[in-house]
Amino acid sequence: MDFKEAVSCLVSDIQSYNKNLNEKLLREAFEFGRVAHDGQTRSNGDPYYSHCVAVAKNLAGKKMDTDTIITALLHDTVEDTKVNSEEITKLFGQDVANLVAGVTKLEALENISEVSKQAKNFRKLLLAMSEDIRVLLVKLSDRLHNIQTLHHIAKPEKRIRIATETMEIHVPLAELIGIRDWKEEMEDICFNTINPDAHSSIVGRLKFISKEQGDNIVTNVVKELDDLMTEHKIKNEISGRKKTPYSIWRKMQKKDIGFEQLSDIMAFRIVVDSVDDCYRVLGLIHATYRLVPGRFKDYISLPKKNNYRSLHTGVIGPAGQRVEIQIRTKEMHEFAELGVAAHWSYKSGDKESIVKEGKNYRWLRELLEIVEHSNSDDEVMSDTKMEMYAENVFVFSPKGDIVNLPKMATPIDFAYSIHSGVGNKTIGARINGKVMPLKTELKNGDQVEIITQSNAEPKEAWKNIVVSGKARSAIRRFIRNKRRDEYVEHGKSLLMRTFKSAGFDLTEKDIKFLTEKYDYKEPEMFFVAVGDGTRGVNESLYAVHPEARETDKKTKETPPPELNKGKVASKGKSSLIGGLPDDMVIRFPKCCHAIPGDKIVGVVSTGQGISIHNVRCKEVLKEHDIQNSSIDLYWRDELIDKEKVIENVNFVARINVLASNKPGALNSITTVILNLGVNLSDLKIVSRSSDFWDVNIDLEVKSVGKLTEVMASLRMSNDIISVTRL
């Protein structure tokens, strides 16, 4: 990179939107950064500083203020060069120094797990963001460039690790702050890195559709829409594009659709002058083209969590294709493109308003609250990821206030979103005036009223019913405080027994070692984690005495032959389920094949133990009527989230596949399944006509996540018409 040219180019980029740029200062910062990184290179051999310049350029593209762009140029100096914070303060001011410090990762985090490092850095980032939200813009721009250059990293595992982290943390943050194009670009590259097969078949399919429809299809539709607007004298700007492979993949995973039905691959945007015009255009479109049911969304009346506003609709558009149309005003459009940056960027250079802006984000406050009250790094990451999950459902309070919750939220999530005090005292809920179970999934527009009782307490099973990180974190906190003493006791004696039976004493030194190794603030917290099952007791034993693992393996290698498979497996399985009474035998009845990730309920039948059903299973109602004793159960997600699901314990899920009766169709089904490393335990042909195969397949999986992946991959095969879970 020619740095002389680069700096001039950057200056003219900024001057195009900011006439008051302090050019001298910017050039000084540029030179300062260049000298500091001199001699360092990126993995492709480019000078390291080219990365900092690219990060600055991205931010200039978002019309950011000078301090932010200077920060971009210097963002890696403190972490990777001899420069220190004092120097930056002296030369470029306190604000820039604080911003750089905010972007800098914690140094020297050694001897702790990857998730602990991630959690500690994430906590630091959130705190810095709450001081000054511009830190997030620099961080995202930095990540965007690292993702754009991800292919230069040689090791595939490293690429996948970075892509996964980006998907889990940076993509949702970009969504929350409303920078759509960065979000989409990161998503697509990460998707291609993590799942190259799926990516390439979607790209292939898109090419095929384009060929069928003709290359000018987007232009043609734009023209037809434009004619319609002109005819009705509505001033507007229309643009159209193909959807990204990742957004198509998401849709295939979420909805039960196959590639064949996936004609909806184009999106159009109509930008008009006023809110009135938005609704006029909407009326016009609906009057002219046939509506696709379920696709209309009014984000003007009910903005998204990140304040995004727009009308969305889906119609069978010009040329008989399904298309998505977004209608919005110029202001809404600016916000949709620039996100939060639209509000302040270079215009309001004053720091006060920016700081205030950051404090206004409810999502940021809620993330901070979770981080501050979490007990361990695992909890920080799992609860915040849950909270960042972007899709929403809108419900109403009894007074008519809109409450914005994650999709599939329950009345319990609603209660906790009001206040954790309300959540903790909840005993019931009225939805649209009717008393409904607390695990009911809320739908858009529901009116929800919470029934509380002053001496009520949250139930442990709620942890797995709720879908908001805020609710889960609050429930954990309550239960932890209440059960703490109990768990300390239990955890400690469990450890002592386990150590003893392996022939060791549990010493003070061991306790100190384990507390530090697993990163708990104090030994009591470690005992609690062992007591409530978050931290495995054998894992702790092996950490101190690795030789014990060998002995254990040997004794386990030869299981008694006729201790039948079912019993051994269900023992393993019962340890994954929370809320079970002691020493009960569990069964997984064939009616619904519940697997980790499903919401579950247990039905107790005398002499037969507990059968574990999916809450949606119709058999539950029948059994429940007769026996009248069901118990709330939940998957111990802390064991499942991290794929710590016990080795060799698999769950059987049944799916139905409808495939065209072509040679090789069955073979392609099994190939897809086996390629994903999933075992196929049974395949039954339900019927076979001249056109179709109708088959039921039993798959051995560890969780719903894997099952969804299998189903989505099957749907991409050209021979497969539909895939449904049974």
CA dist list (Å): 45 to 1, 6, 13, 36: 11, 18, 26, 17
Distance of CA 313 to the CA centre of its chain: 25
> Residues 31, 38, 79, 539: which is the catalytic one?
79
Question: Minimal distance in Å, beta carbon 145 to Mn ion?
Answer: 7
User: Does residue 623 belong to the site contacting Mn ion (CB under 5 A)?
Assistant: no
Question: Which span sits near Mn ion by CB under 5 A: 68-76, 249-257, 327-335, 643-651?
Answer: 68-76
Q: Of the two residues 65 and 76, which places its CB atom closer to Mn ion in the complex?
A: 76
Length of the chain, please?
A: 726
Marked catalytic residue, from 31, 80, 114, 237? 80
Nearer to Mn ion, 95 or 142 (CB): 142
Binding positions for Mn ion, 134-153, rule CB under 5 A: 142
CB nearer to Mn ion: give 147 or 218.
Answer: 147
| Residue 264 Cβ vs Mn ion, minimum distance, rounded to whole Å | 37
- Choose among 262, 219, 260: nearest CA to 241: 219
Listed in sequence order, the residues at least 6 apart from 275 whose beta carbon sits closer than 8 Å to its beta carbon are 300, 329
Least Å distance, CB 138 to Mn ion, is: 9
CA-to-CA distance for 183 and 162, rounded, in angstroms?
A: 15
Nearer to Mn ion, 78 or 341 (CB): 78
Q: In terms of Cα–Cα distance, which of 57, 72, 66, 74 is closest to 21?
A: 66
Q: Give me the residue whose beta carbon is nearest to Mn ion.
A: 142
Of the candidates 157, 42, 342, 193, the residue with the CA atom closest to the CA atom of residue 185: 193
Rounded least distance, CB 142 to Mn ion, Å: 4
**Nearest distance, CB of residue 185 and Mn ion, angstroms:** 17
- Number of chain residues interacting with Mn ion (CB under 5 A): 2
Work out whether 413 is an interface residue with Mn ion (CB under 5 A). no
In sequence order, which residues have a C-beta less than 8 Å from that of residue 13 and are 6 or more positions away?
A: 57, 60, 61
Residue 80: active-site member: yes
Per CB under 5 A, 71 contacts Mn ion: no
CB closer to Mn ion, 68 vs 410: 68
Quote the least distance from Cβ 79 to Mn ion, whole Å: 8
d(CA 552, CA 544): 14
Binder to Mn ion among 67, 76, 264, 383 (CB under 5 A)?
A: 76
* Two structure tokens written together for 539: 């894992």
User: Which residue, 76 or 638, has its beta carbon nearer to Mn ion?
Assistant: 76
Three-class SS string for 480-549? HHHHHHHHHHHHHHHHHHHHHHCCCCCCHHHHHHHHHHCCCCCHHHHHHHHHCCCCCHHHHHHHHCCHHH
Min separation Cβ 177 and Mn ion, Å: 18
175 near Mn ion, judged by CB under 5 A: no
Which is closer to Mn ion, CB of 142 or CB of 413?
Answer: 142
**559 is written with which tokens?**
């299981």
CA-wise closest residue to 106 among 86, 122, 126, 121 = 121
Between 76 and 264, CB nearer to Mn ion: 76
Report which of 102, 42, 37, 41 is spatially closest to residue 68, judged by C-alpha positions: 102
- Contact call for residues 271 and 329 (beta carbons, < 8 A): yes
Choices 70-78, 301-309, 408-416, 711-719 (CB under 5 A): range interacting with Mn ion: 70-78
> In 10 A of CB 223, how many CB atoms?
14
Query: What DSSP string runs through 213-259?
Result: H-TTHHHHHHHHHHHHHHHTT--EEEEEEEPPHHHHHHHHHHSS--S
Tokens 């969804």, residue? 708
Closest approach of Mn ion to the CB of residue 76, in Å = 5
613 φ, ψ (degrees, to nearest 5): -115, 155
Query: Which residues here bind Mn ion, judged by CB under 5 A?
Result: 76, 142
Residue positions annotated with a catalytic role: 79-80
